[in-house]
A and B are shown apart, each in its own frame.
Chain A
Amino acid sequence: MGLTGLFLIMFLAVHCFLNSFIFFDKTGELFNVGAHFMATNWLIRAMEVVLMLGLLLHIYQGLRLVFMNKAARPEKYAYHNGQANSTWYSRSMGLLGTLLLIFLIVHLSDFWTTSRFTGIPTVDANGHEDLYAQMKESFSNIYLVILYVLAMVSLAYHLLHGFASAFQTLGWNHNKYTPIIKAFGFWYSILIPLIFAAMPVYIYLGL
């Protein structure tokens, strides 16, 4: 769980970095260069397979945990005051994960399947597939924008617990470094989803 989680966390950084190209180039050409590179480089394509496997493994592990842990307490408490000793999101990783999964299905069918399988209809000035144009079109839909923003809120909470938790699970704790990891994890969990959420809003508002 921790290992796949950390792997996905790393992917988020890369994904976020490349996508943030949209903020720097109105024409979207820079973004398309990045997208083209990602789509054609053989190493990246290989990693993509690993990433998909990692995601599936993460989902499988998560679901397995949820069911095993439910079985460990067959009779529920009449009253369990969970908020007295832990955060709601640390107790709701399964729920947050499920929300993210629903989002991912929408997200991937929007962008990934088109770019990989059905093909992007247009090309930009440099002759690259115009993923940027497709993005603009998708994010003109207010409902989709709202879905994306909400999903990023879920992601933020998922990460707020998941980041430091992954280190704990792997036993990577240290009196000196754990506080740094925790602080870094906190900001990472806020900033990455914030940047992601800014993208559809940015495009929708046509800034």
Chain B
Amino acid sequence: MSAFNSNIPEGDLTTKWTKYKSSVALVNPSNKRTLEVIVVGSGLAGASAAATLAEMGYKVKCFCFQDSPRRAHSIAAQGGINAAKNYQNDGDSTYRLFYDTIKGGDYRAREANVYRLAEVSANIIDQCVAQGVPLAREYGGLLDNRSFGGTQVQRTFYAAGQTGQQLLLGAYSALERQVGMGKVDMYTRHEMLEVVKIDGKARGIIARDLISGKLERHFGHAVVLATGGYGNVFYLSTNAMGSNVTAAWKANKQGAFFANPCYTQIHPTCIPVSGDHQSKLTLMSESLRNDGRIWVPKKKDDNRKPTDIPEDERDYYLERRYPAFGNLVPRDVASRAAKERCDAGYGVGLSKKAVYLDFTFNTERYGRIEANKLNIHNPDQATIMRLGRDVVKEKYGNLFDMYKQITGEDPYETPMRIYPAVHYTMGGLWVDYNLMTTVPGLYCAGEANFSDHGANRLGASALMQGLADGYFVLPYTIGAYLSKEISTKAIPTDHPAFAEAEAKVQAELERLINIKGTKSVDYFHKKLGLIMWDKCGMARNEVGLKEAIEEIKALRAEFWSNVRIPGELNEFNPELEKAARVADFMELGELMCMDALHRNESCGGHFREEYQTEEGEALRDDENYAYVAAWENKGNGTFELHKEELKFENIKIAQRSYK
């Protein structure tokens, strides 16, 4: 077994990264030209890493399954990106961002990584603005900020409700610039299906050209996986339809440990499910909680229209339970609170699985401010609401339009109905401080790795982490590895290891397509999703998890005997692509349940019903579970657990309180 060492540099927390950067081995420019790096994925982490590595002089190949790198699902992130700039003079600092992130992650993240993340966060904003990313500005021409859940400062930079899009397009532009210069070879509509290892090191990948269906071999001195999260294991999630775990899962089978798979983030503000036909869920940005107040009726089964329910018959349960943070508690807390109210019978809407997100109060507040600005004294209510509405529209117009489009209801007139939905996965491939997995030469960045968010991710931190990894961390740390590879010549892809890996992929695809059963891939995916949501979702318990494991095993057996994939192997065949992804999800789903079952505590996104305080808050067990659970795949559905102890030397570990 390869070393299981987090490789955290010695020394004071605040100087670890600086020291590392100035002492890390470098590769001279002429050697960089002969070193090849494969980057799989073209989202924030992948595109920024590929662009930066190419700028540094490495030969880069970048792969994505979509038709263009600009489609990666980072594009859908709405709310914003955190950075410890302290532009608002509200007491923010690198340490405070570090502290908020560790605390928000329920003390299950690695201190050194998180501190580094907080440190480089400011550089990200500088870099993006220099690239022409149009972040929101104030009238003075300087950058604007807003606040997000789990923090008491305003450190979130944003571009209306399309921050992810703008940041991704910035990284995409940087990537295309390198493509134009011939320094990155871009492979679109290609899916990675295997990691090729030679002498224990990652040396390339097998990718399928999705249009011709042909398998291709690609060599790299190092391989970077930036393939995103696995939320689609739940079938219904806010992830894109194509988001998958396949690359990470193949890596896991090749010896890369999978860390904390059970840490799933359920986002509190999504549009509720409307029927069985639903193929995906749509997020309403967390930034809405800045100005929206969440409530349910005080009476059970209150069927009155929300606007007819008087103020004193409304239960603003987040403000009631968490007076200090109110509607801005972290996501896991807000989600569970919504579930608690709905389970107790106070839910609203036809399904009774929703709560109200109401903007009236703040619309009125903004209206008064605007009226003042316009020198209207004693304005009437209609004027106030009209002026306030304009302010709300400018802040969240696109989100309100999206809500109206999907539900057919006008959120300016009536409160939004929202309910939690799967959104992000904190777990992922285990990586050390260098972002290298347990397979030498195989790196993992962005949501695909496990590193920075612990058991729960704070809002606006995913964009930060993806870009930190891609622009500022990986390009340095990969150099340390590549500096030892300068004498390794490019390995021809007729090497037996490539042939063997390709044959294995070919065999698996053939096996899938030859099942010729009776049920579609979606049938299995939906069933898997239901099991996962019911038993490994917002709340889990021992009995349910054990049942889920058995059910998934049975479903997997049925899948491998009865799935029907039309079409052929050597053609553009999306059903085959889906089938291969679902096959991996089914193995991952089982591991998630195993991980959730073994972790006898509640922390962040992992809530075990057996472990809660009397008030229903998550009850951590720091004595026994302050570790990262890294799972080694032993084949045939068996896994070995490795533990990375988490040491908190700079933060006093405490019960997380937002009251």
Consider the complex of A and B and state whether they touch directly, i.e. have CB atoms less than 8 Å apart.
no
Interface positions of B (Cβ within 8 A of A): none
Interface positions of A (Cβ within 8 A of B): none
